[in-house]
């Protein structure tokens, strides 16, 4: 039997725990995604390395965003199916209506496909700005699907929403602050169009996770209880109470603990019942977003996980609302949720290649210093021969002492750079020997626990963390990351992933583990001299990552392709070329034509000064233009 098989990798990287049945390994040791054939409905595993091979043959470079239409379709099915099951099981008399918050991923393809796949469920859209409202009105024409308008609204926003209502769309304007209500009433009367209104409430129930401050008395958005009552009174005074149809709260994103969700829904249900008792017709209870994704596969209440399933989430929400309404003898409302992350997270995988490695382990003994070398070099060389299971602490302390002395001697000018380099090679060789012995011991002395971490390699990846994985940098979000191939080989190198932004924060050094997190990712040895690419994938990146990214070092959007199965054949569609150098320069107010003209004048001056020939000027200008029109990332 081989010493390492794909099943070992499946367990090591937690593929079964976070993959949700969508991702797996095949017998060739390659990561696969399971997609449904659009014609037959049969599920087919697709090798991601084969997809990459097809894209590189077509001339596309890394990094590359792979989008999976089928996973978007299935997530909408699973969410609606869970609520339909819960409604039937509980005998709930209301309905369920999901809406997708466009802010989670505003890409045109995402909004178009959600509108297409969601038709059979009357699945709607939520928008929080004028641009998002325009996108919603262009793609959502189903009168039975909701368009929820959150965010702060000026007259343009209000007028457009009212006119869309007049055209037969089901648009609900949600009050975020009291000052919006007079504007809505005035514009409604001026246009002669009655709105449908909602109220966003500021819950007292606190949340958990990264976005705990989204709830509670000090949350930024929504009306407090006094403002809600004032709103009711203003609506009554203006004969607009009949327009109040929806009650809404938003507890936060990525809510890991089902208990805090139930507490919030219980409070919201009480307020909903009270609004009905005030005489408002109501009918919709919008429980907001927050449905979590189990990024780390731990099924816990940690910030990157969830201690509940989709079925449990739906059942608990239905049960809580039903119980409150039954006690008050109020009709069961249509339940609305704004689940975005749980819908689109699985939709995208970011694929990138490794460019180079800096390794600190030195398995082979370096050259020995000459007998007339400085005593400190001779001393550290002597430690190499003394390393044994019985002398690990002693050798560690001695080598650390001699290394620091050698550095001090270099600073004083006593030894040269070549001698310092030899001393540090000997030090890292000693650390490598000690680490090898420690792996065979049951107990590791406290002083030696950091050796493995100190020997961690830097794998330089062809990506920008700030552009493609901003949450990993900004809030410590954990994303599953693993090699896409070579899973018949044991990944023996502990690694930190460094990007190409030349920024000390441009790295990923926290990774998922079975119990908590680890400070390195096990990877395979990278041998660039063999000429074989080494590909990694960052999974569950469909939510927020594609639109939150910035232009650090002017590295732009990566290339994109949509992957599907049609008639049993792999189909690569919706190819979107990533930003060129010219594109990103225009984002920061440069004019590419002006840049070229300026450089051309400098090149001509160089010809006149005799620094280059006219022919060399031509070659240089061609190189300038090619770079200007090229990809912002590393290209072979």
**Number of C-beta neighbours around residue 477 at 10 A:** 21
> pLDDT grade, residue 389 (50/70/90)?
very high
pLDDT exceeds cutoff 70 at 447: yes
**Mean pLDDT score of the chain, rounded to an integer?**
94
Task: Say what percent of the chain tops pLDDT 70.
Answer: 97
pLDDT exceeds cutoff 80 at 217: no
Q: CA 391 to CA 396: how far, in whole Å?
A: 8
Q: CA 474 to CA 265: how far, in whole Å?
A: 29
Task: Give the active site residue among 149, 325, 502, 504.
Answer: 502
Q: CA 244 to CA 228: how far, in whole Å?
A: 12
First to last CA, the chain: 38
Which tokens go with 157? Answer: 């926003």
- SS3 readout for 429-486: HHHHHHHHHHCCCCCCCHHHCCHHHHCCEEEEECCCHHHHCHHHHHCCCCCCEEECCC
| pLDDT value of position 453 | 85
The answer to whether the beta carbons of residues 494 and 457 sit under 8 Å apart is: yes
> pLDDT grade, residue 461 (50/70/90)?
very high
pLDDT exceeds cutoff 60 at 552: yes
Q: CA 545 to CA 487: how far, in whole Å?
A: 27
Task: Tell me the per-residue pLDDT of 14-33, one tens digit each, with 9 for 90 and over.
Answer: 999 999 999 999 999 999 99
pLDDT exceeds cutoff 70 at 363: yes
Mean pLDDT calculated for residue range 595-622: 97
Q: CA 545 to CA 556: how far, in whole Å?
A: 13
Please give the residue that has the higher pLDDT: either 341 or 549: 341
| pLDDT value of position 211 | 58
Query: How do 64-68 and 559-566 pair as beta strands?
Result: parallel
Task: Tell me the per-residue pLDDT of 370-385, one tens digit each, with 9 for 90 and over.
Answer: 999 999 999 999 999 9
Q: Give 98: exposed, middle or buried? Use CB within 10 Å, 0-12, 13-18, 19+.
A: buried
pLDDT exceeds cutoff 80 at 55: yes
**Structure-token match 């070992």, residue found:** 8
Query: How do 457-461 and 348-358 pair as beta strands?
Result: antiparallel
Q: CA 82 to CA 85: how far, in whole Å?
A: 5
Q: CA 298 to CA 480: how far, in whole Å?
A: 12
pLDDT exceeds cutoff 70 at 213: no
Could you give the count of Cα atoms lying within 13 Å of 68 in the half-sphere of its Cβ?
31
Q: Choose among 389, 493, 365: nearest CA to 437.
A: 389
Which tokens go with 393? Answer: 């602490």
Task: Tell me the per-residue pLDDT of 486-499, one tens digit each, with 9 for 90 and over.
Answer: 999 999 999 999 99
User: What pTM was computed for the model?
Assistant: 0.93
Give, in order, the Cα–Cα distances in Å from 342 to each of 55, 537, 634. Answer: 28, 19, 32
Q: CA 468 to CA 65: how far, in whole Å?
A: 9
The answer to whether the beta carbons of residues 49 and 30 sit under 8 Å apart is: yes
DSSP assignment of 79-127, as one string?
Answer: HHHHHHHHHHHHT--S-EEEEEEGGG---HHHHHHHHHHTGGGT-EEEE
DSSP classification of residue 511: E
Indicate the length of the chain as a whole number.
636
| pLDDT value of position 216 | 58
Mean pLDDT calculated for residue range 399-418: 96
530 Cα distance to chain centroid: 32
Q: CA 219 to CA 195: how far, in whole Å?
A: 27
Q: CA 626 to CA 619: how far, in whole Å?
A: 11
pLDDT exceeds cutoff 90 at 551: no
> pLDDT grade, residue 442 (50/70/90)?
confident
- Establish whether 325 is a catalytic residue: no
Positive or negative: CA dihedral 348, 353, 356, 357: positive
pLDDT exceeds cutoff 60 at 218: no
């Amino acid at each position: 039997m081989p010493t390492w098989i794909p099943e070992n990798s499946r367990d090591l990287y937690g593929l079964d725990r976070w993959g949700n049945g969508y991702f797996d390994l095949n017998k060739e040791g390659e990561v696969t995604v399971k997609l449904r054939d659009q014609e037959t409905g049969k599920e087919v595993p697709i090798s991601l390395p084969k997809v990459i091979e097809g894209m590189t043959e077509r001339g596309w470079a890394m990094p590359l965003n792979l989008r999976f239409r089928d996973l978007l379709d299935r997530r909408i099915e699973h969410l609606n199916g869970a609520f339909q099951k819960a409604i039937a099981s509980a005998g709930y008399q209301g309905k369920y209506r999901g809406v997708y918050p466009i802010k989670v991923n505003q890409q045109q393809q995402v909004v178009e496909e959600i509108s297409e796949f969601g038709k059979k469920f009357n699945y709607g859209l939520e928008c929080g700005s004028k641009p998002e409202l325009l996108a919603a009105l262009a793609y959502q024409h189903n009168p039975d699907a909701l368009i929820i308008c959150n965010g702060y609204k000026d007259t343009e926003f209000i007028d457009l929403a009212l006119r869309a209502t007049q055209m037969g769309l089901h648009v609900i304007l949600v009050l975020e602050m009291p000052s919006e209500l007079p504007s809505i009433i005035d514009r409604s009367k001026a246009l002669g169009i009655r709105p449908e209104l909602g109220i966003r409430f500021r819950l007292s129930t606190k949340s958990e996770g990264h976005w705990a401050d989204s709830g509670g008395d000090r949350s930024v958005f929504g009306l407090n209880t006094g403002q809600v009552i004032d709103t009711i009174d203003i609506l009554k005074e203006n004969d607009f109470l009949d327009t109040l149809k929806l009650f809404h709260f938003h507890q936060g994103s990525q809510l890991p603990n089902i208990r805090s969700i139930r507490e919030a829904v219980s409070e919201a249900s009480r307020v909903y019942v009270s609004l009905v008792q005030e005489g408002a017709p109501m009918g919709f209870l919008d429980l907001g977003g927050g449905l979590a994704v189990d990024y780390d596969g731990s099924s816990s209440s940690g910030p990157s996980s969830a201690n509940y399933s989709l079925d449990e989430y739906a059942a608990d929400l239905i049960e809580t609302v039903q119980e409150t309404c039954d006690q008050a003898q109020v009709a069961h409302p249509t339940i609305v949720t704004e689940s975005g992350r749980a819908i689109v997270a699985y939709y995208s995988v970011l694929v990138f290649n490794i460019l180079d490695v800096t390794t600190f382990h030195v398995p082979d003994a370096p050259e020995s210093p000459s007998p007339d070398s400085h005593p400190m070099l001779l001393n550290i060389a002597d430690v190499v021969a003394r390393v044994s299971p019985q002398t690990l602490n002693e050798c560690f302390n001695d080598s650390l002492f001699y290394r620091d002395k050698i550095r001090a001697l270099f600073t004083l000018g006593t030894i040269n750079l070549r001698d310092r380099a030899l001393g540090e090679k000997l030090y890292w060789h000693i650390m490598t020997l000690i680490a090898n012995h420690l792996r065979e011991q049951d107990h590791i002395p406290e002083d030696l626990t950091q050796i493995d971490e100190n020997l961690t390699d830097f794998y330089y990846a062809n990506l920008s963390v700030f552009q493609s994985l901003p949450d990993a940098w900004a809030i410590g979000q954990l994303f599953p990351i693993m090699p896409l191939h070579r899973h018949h080989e044991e990944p023996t190198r502990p690694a930190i992933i460094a990007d190409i932004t030349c920024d000390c924060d441009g790295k990923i050094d926290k990774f998922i583990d079975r119990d908590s997190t680890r400070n390195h990712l096990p990877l395979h040895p990278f041998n660039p001299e063999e000429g074989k690419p080494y590909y990694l994938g960052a999974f569950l990146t469909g939510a927020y990552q594609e639109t939150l990214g910035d232009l650090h070092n002017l590295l732009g959007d990566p290339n994109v392709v949509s992957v599907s199965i049609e008639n049993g054949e792999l189909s690569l569609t919706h190819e979107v070329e990533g930003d060129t150098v010219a594109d990103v320069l225009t984002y920061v107010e440069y004019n590419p034509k002006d840049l070229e003209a300026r450089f051309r004048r400098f090149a001509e001056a160089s010809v006149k000064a005799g620094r280059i020939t006219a022919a060399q000027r031509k070659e240089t200008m061609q190189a300038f233009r090619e770079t200007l029109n090229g990809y912002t990332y590393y290209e072979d």
